[in-house]
Amino acid sequence: MTLPTTTLGGRLEVGRLGLGLMGMSAFYTGRSSDDAESIRTIHRAIDLGVTLLDTAEMYGPHLNEELLGRALEGRRDQVKIATKFGVYASSDGSRSTDGSPERVRKAVEGSLSRLGTDHIDLYYQHRMDPGTPIEETVGALAELVTMGKIGGYGLSEAGVGTIRRAHAVHPVTAVQSEYSLWTRDPEEEVLPVLRELGIGFVPYSPLGRGFLTGTIRSLDALDPDDFRRHNPRFAGENLERNIGIVEHVDRVATEVGATPAQVALAWLLAQGEDIVPIPGTKRVERLEENVAAADITLTAEQLADLGSLDAPAGDRYPDMSGIGR
């Protein structure tokens, strides 16, 4: 099969599903990742019509962009590259944000070099910088658009006020936030504003950080260095309560002859043509399973049933500061 396409922000044509690359280099398995298998997965994604490939300079840091650069040798013109700037790790493990124009200009040059390309199709501010007005950050991004170094820009985990202010300076192509059957936060405020302004929406973690696949029933399923071991939704009683969500999704999956992951993605795709989820995987078989979700049509009753699921127990992150500014 080949994926149907859609257009983000009226200007960036991509397949209805993208591919999140983070887990190939960081957070889930660290350096135990298999770069050769990851590259095979990227190549297979391109063959199936997955054209939006999502990375960030902080993944590794830098390793993920370098991996994508190697994978795209000879195939750059077949994809749209999305990467992110603005979050930086210190030697003590803490993180800071920097959206200053100077940092924007420096960061894009580093990403271009690591990716082995002369332009980035979609350049996100990874998290909002409370010390720099969004108008100044977007002013620098608009300069990069004029210079041809980026095709457009996006915001990740931005609040509606920031989105409106940014869009008034230069049109936003896409906003990226967590959205899935167990993270419905964007529905109340963010999605209506995006549709009002004609901005695309790119949900990350559309499978609930792997939880909605039904394969995680205890922390024993996770590598010792997997960051989900410290995620509130995977902890203790929260994990036990949240398994009920997966069991509900699994019941619908049985009805339609699909996997829980495919049902979760099919539900998300049904929420609108302006939505392009970016499920992450480093394995070809999981990629093919995810892409097949685009062929699944859920009934109105099944969509409503899934939409009525209880909210999960626990916050999305141990520290929610900086989210939704």
Which residues are catalytic, by number? 59
DSSP assignment of 191-256: HHHHHHHT-EEEEE-TTTTTGGGT--SSGGGS-TT-GGGG-GGGSHHHHHHHHHHHHHHHHHHHHH
3-class DSSP assignment, residue 280: strand
Residue 97: its H or E element: strand 95-97
- The set of long-range contacts for 141-147, using a CB threshold of 8 Å and a minimum separation of 24, is 141/104, 141/170, 142/169, 142/170, 144/104, 144/105, 144/108, 145/170
Say if CB 33 and CB 63 are below 8 A apart. Answer: no
Contact 67, 24 (CB under 8 A): yes
Q: How many Å apart are CA 192 and CA 99, to the nearest integer?
A: 26
For residues 78 and 196, what is the distance between their CA atoms, to the nearest angstrom? 30
Q: CA-to-CA distance for 60 and 66, rounded, in angstroms?
A: 9
